[in-house]
Structure 1
């Protein structure tokens, strides 16, 4: 009987310690949200961060695409967000995505830059608990006046 209790303790105790360690040490997702002031489709020298933008993270089952996890976040003054994710999402498909912008003239999500795939598991060889999402952006309704010159410098617009 004593051997059975000892064997059980040796098997169960490490699992409990491991589970408690991960719950006490969540994954941290960091990213940023910007306003594409030139409507270029990417960040430029005239791009500005958006303070107070709403973002969310959703994780879905890889096979059925059933929503399994969702958490909301908001950007700070520098347009950056930090979201604490307490669970390990193993092989789930997780995306950070834009929800809304507080800027009335910059509320249109930039297609292709409105979400970012993120890896929210510890079973991938990464030693850090911090994960980084690609920057996501909204587009300004009308480009700023200096954008034409900037894009010409980038040689993306023909000179008239």
Structure 2
């Protein structure tokens, strides 16, 4: 690719990584605000969702699946435990293995937060006037997207 072609691409079509990053930032900005009104952070909501299947997850599994550093995850889980939304359980076979589980109160909380997230997604889809993920991505990554 020539220098001219590279320069043209730099000001032309955005790269996929740009589009995904901008779309993610725009999507999470408004959802984060909505969750904050419910006294919950975006990452706390992600942890609650990850535990929503009722199976319980180890801290390592949560950190890996949510791409959250262990130290940050520990602080998140501590806050969720303090609020009574989740609890920790030690394995009966390996005392070093601790799993996090959604409490009954946490399940109720997750139901409410998921309803807010689903309403947020519906509003985004309506604003995009499309159900097509590619069209939604293009809308969200655009320069004048909300």
Tell me the TM-score normalised to structure 2 length.
0.27
Tell me the TM-score normalised to structure 1 length.
0.25
Higher radius of gyration, 1 or 2: 1
- Structure ranking higher in helix proportion: 2
- Structure ranking higher in strand proportion: 1
